[in-house]
């Protein structure tokens, strides 16, 4: 899942018209954030944007595909879709995709994974 700093810098340059996007290193790639909300990721020198039920058809129709990785012999798909080259080549379309991803990320409830109680801790209402 490694990505190069050169590709990260290229993506950040392409997203300049969209607004102030920050890239944070994560697992050999980068998470893309705006105002503290992660809406995209860079993995293996490819850009992925967050999708939800309302954007899945749009992303699929444009030729995007989901980010997937193997874990314990199974393929796991995440809620990020690869941005097709045609969209990467068009700054206006890329900004539109980024806006859809950011809106989806803001609407999606945060995972409960970080809030799970420890196995032996008491339940406190």
pLDDT in tens, the chain (125 residues): 567 899 999 999 999 999 999 999 988 899 999 999 999 999 999 999 998 887 778 777 777 788 877 888 898 878 898 999 999 999 999 999 999 999 999 987 765 444 554 555 555 55
Q: What is the pLDDT of residue 70?
A: 81
Q: Is 54 helix (H, G, I), strand (E, B) or coil?
A: coil
Determine the Cα–Cα distance for residues 19 and 34; give it in Å rounded to an integer: 8
Q: What is the pLDDT of residue 118?
A: 53
Q: What is the pLDDT of residue 121?
A: 54
Model-wide pTM > 0.95: no
The answer to whether residue 82 sits within a structural domain is yes
Q: What is the pLDDT of residue 119?
A: 56
The answer to whether residue 107 sits within a structural domain is yes
Q: CA dist 41 to 3, 30, 118, Å? A: 10, 6, 30
The answer to whether residue 52 sits within a structural domain is yes
The answer to whether residue 54 sits within a structural domain is yes
The answer to whether residue 56 sits within a structural domain is yes
**Residue 48 belongs to domain spanning:** 5-115
The answer to whether residue 90 sits within a structural domain is yes
The answer to whether residue 85 sits within a structural domain is yes
Which residue shows structure tokens 């992303």?
Answer: 59
The answer to whether residue 102 sits within a structural domain is yes
Q: Give long-range contacts, CB 8 A cutoff, 24+ apart: 13-21.
A: 14/88, 14/91, 14/94, 15/94, 15/95, 15/98, 17/91, 17/92, 17/95, 18/94, 18/95, 18/98, 18/99, 21/98
Q: What is the pLDDT of residue 120?
A: 55
CATH number for the domain including 45? 3.30.1460.30
Number of domains in the chain: 1
Q: What is the pLDDT of residue 49?
A: 94
């Amino acid at each position: 899942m490694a990505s190069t700093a050169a590709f990260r810098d290229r993506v950040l340059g392409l997203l300049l018209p969209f607004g102030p996007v920050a890239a944070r290193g994560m697992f050999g790639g980068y998470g893309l954030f705006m105002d503290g909300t992660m809406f995209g990721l860079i993995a293996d020198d490819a850009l992925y944007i967050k999708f939800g039920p309302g954007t899945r058809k749009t992303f699929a129709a444009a030729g995007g595909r989901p980010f997937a990785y193997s874990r314990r012999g199974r393929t796991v798909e995440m809620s990020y879709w690869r941005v097709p080259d045609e969209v990467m080549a068009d700054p206006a379309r890329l900004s539109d995709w980024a806006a859809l991803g950011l809106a989806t990320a803001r609407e999606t409830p945060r995972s409960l994974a970080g809030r799970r109680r420890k196995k032996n801790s008491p339940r406190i209402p």
